[in-house]
Chain A
């Protein structure tokens, strides 16, 4: 543990280009010709005897020759740690969720669980059935981590395992987390989950190098949470949930650019205007957490509320 981190500190920015080529060339699995130092294509790696597994696109595991990867591989994980903690300079990621569009298709949930090696009952993003008091109509509410600007979870972490980055993301380092679960207790949005047992397909991911921006491989006995798909953002792609949505619920973008793009229609709009025109709000503002996720109220709905054949919301309080 310790050696990895000190290693990470030594290998800071100077190998950025190296990492990029590795990511594009290897992790993306494109089989392209790699840069200087390593000659040959993807196939050439696979011919070797000793092989190592790397994470490909869509969570597929690719096998690559170890002798070629060893040195660079170690750097990559170290680098993922440093870069993962620093964040992407100049960005302030923001998400807008249009409740009028959600019909509980749960494609976001599926895409997220697939990418982050989660079990079916583990949610980085969960779609909740909500209503307000009195005679108000029920609606579906996707609930990711709110990536608060005053995060109550990172406040309480004893070991700096969960942290906030300059681009607004709240991440967790599964290589450092001691599993005290104080952050779970502190989060008012119940956005955090814990690996109570071995994670899904632990055997398959055993040799995959840990990426702090993806929380993969998941580690038993540590906390995991929504990361706004920090690994994709680094490649200038929108998060898994955002692009998986078939109903145009999610808008994602950079607050500094004052623009958000819809994951379904790819339409880009003025962020502040979108909030203003639709009377956007944040969840539990009274708690002072300053969320980075905005909600557009559930009006002008394209799909009527219906869950398990009922158009009413059944109260599920467990008092």
Chain B
């Protein structure tokens, strides 16, 4: 018995050591991860999808890569640094991100494979040596515009690419999103539209978007893939929104309202009750002064 116990103890301590190391954010990335085959060719389109997903899922702790807004309290690295990139190839990053460790949650069941790879490609796009294929149109060369057709509440968007010679030509297959301006940000509305060979796309404006008292609303059109097509946008104020019927609840007579908005039943009851009691009191006080008279 004694002989068997000893080695067991050592194993136990050894396991403890490994555990404590891993708690200290010592990532154990197996070697095979490094050689993971990429499921698809990384394209600019995929990195853009990855960026959107990154913003939703990762930005809380890591910040945008390269911006240094990562949360150091929980050892979340800035994923855009050259140091990080040099130590993690796409496969290694994917492994880490899929499995999770310590504060880093596992995304195994939270995202599907395509999305996870999109995020991987986006993060790796900060590695200069990482090759991304596909067409990347220079942002400054793209313009967006739209016309309105009031009768049918339709927006006709056009996307054009301006080439080196300054000649504008329609951009085909470009995805355009529409937004309405809200107080703290732009609210995406409806489906993404894709331009045809003339560079135009038709968007039917929904009829249930709240506007101001006059139904006024600010509509914005942007390229969905802003990395590829640039941040050009076009906005217009239209009165296509629903009209706001603002009823000021404070003006009603309520129990929670201000002192000049007392419910009438309460005001009347209060005044009648206190009034009649105090009138009686005043009557009695007056009568007390009449005692002398009564004695004459």
Residues of A within 8 A of B (CB): 87, 89-91, 149-152, 154-155, 160, 163-166, 236-238, 246-248, 252-254, 256-259, 261, 264-270, 300, 302-303
Question: Is B248 within 8 A of A166, CB to CB?
Answer: yes
Which residues on A sit within 8 Å (CB–CB) of B110? 300, 302
15 A-B contact pairs sorted by A residue (CB < 8 Å): A90-B212, A152-B256, A154-B256, A160-B258, A160-B259, A166-B249, A238-B184, A248-B60, A253-B182, A257-B182, A264-B59, A268-B182, A269-B187, A302-B110, A303-B103
Question: Is B185 within 8 A of A266, CB to CB?
Answer: yes
Question: Is B184 within 8 A of A253, CB to CB?
Answer: yes
Question: Is A246 within 8 A of B212, CB to CB?
Answer: no
Distance, CA A64 to CA B184, complexed state (A): 32
Distance, CA A166 to CA B254, complexed state (A): 13
A265-B184 contact, Cβ under 8 Å, with A160-B259, A246-B60: no
A254-B183 contact, Cβ under 8 Å, with A90-B244, A164-B257, A300-B110: yes
B246 CB within 8 Å of chain A: yes
Distance, CA A258 to CA B180, complexed state (A): 11
Which residues on A sit within 8 Å (CB–CB) of B180? 259
* Chain A, interface SS category: loop
We find that the number of chain B residues with CB closer than 8 angstroms to chain A is 33
B37 CB within 8 Å of chain A: no
Question: Is B105 within 8 A of A268, CB to CB?
Answer: no
Question: Is B71 within 8 A of A256, CB to CB?
Answer: no
Distance, CA A91 to CA B248, complexed state (A): 10
A-B contact count (CB 8 A): 86
Distance, CA A264 to CA B55, complexed state (A): 9
B168 CB within 8 Å of chain A: no
B213 CB within 8 Å of chain A: yes
A165-B250 contact, Cβ under 8 Å, with A90-B213, A268-B186, A302-B105: yes
Distance, CA A192 to CA B31, complexed state (A): 56
Within 8 A of A (CB), among B165-190: 179-180, 182-188
Which residues on B sit within 8 Å (CB–CB) of A268? 179, 182, 184-188
B293 CB within 8 Å of chain A: no
Distance, CA A302 to CA B59, complexed state (A): 13
Please name the residue on chain A nearest to B244 by beta carbon: A256
The residue in B60, B248, B257 that gathers the most chain A C-beta atoms within 10 A of its C-beta is B60
B255 CB within 8 Å of chain A: yes
Question: Is A89 within 8 A of B184, CB to CB?
Answer: no
Interface string of B241-277 (1 = CB under 8 A from A): 0001010111100011111000000000000000000
Which residues on A sit within 8 Å (CB–CB) of B244? 90, 256
Interface string of B231-249 (1 = CB under 8 A from A): 0000000000000101011
Distance, CA A116 to CA B286, complexed state (A): 55
Distance, CA A264 to CA B209, complexed state (A): 24
B28: min CB distance to chain A, Å? 20
Distance, CA A166 to CA B71, complexed state (A): 39
Question: Is B185 within 8 A of A267, CB to CB?
Answer: yes
Question: Is A258 within 8 A of B210, CB to CB?
Answer: yes
A256-B210 contact, Cβ under 8 Å, with A89-B246, A166-B249: yes
Question: Is B256 within 8 A of A253, CB to CB?
Answer: no
Which residues on A sit within 8 Å (CB–CB) of B213? 90
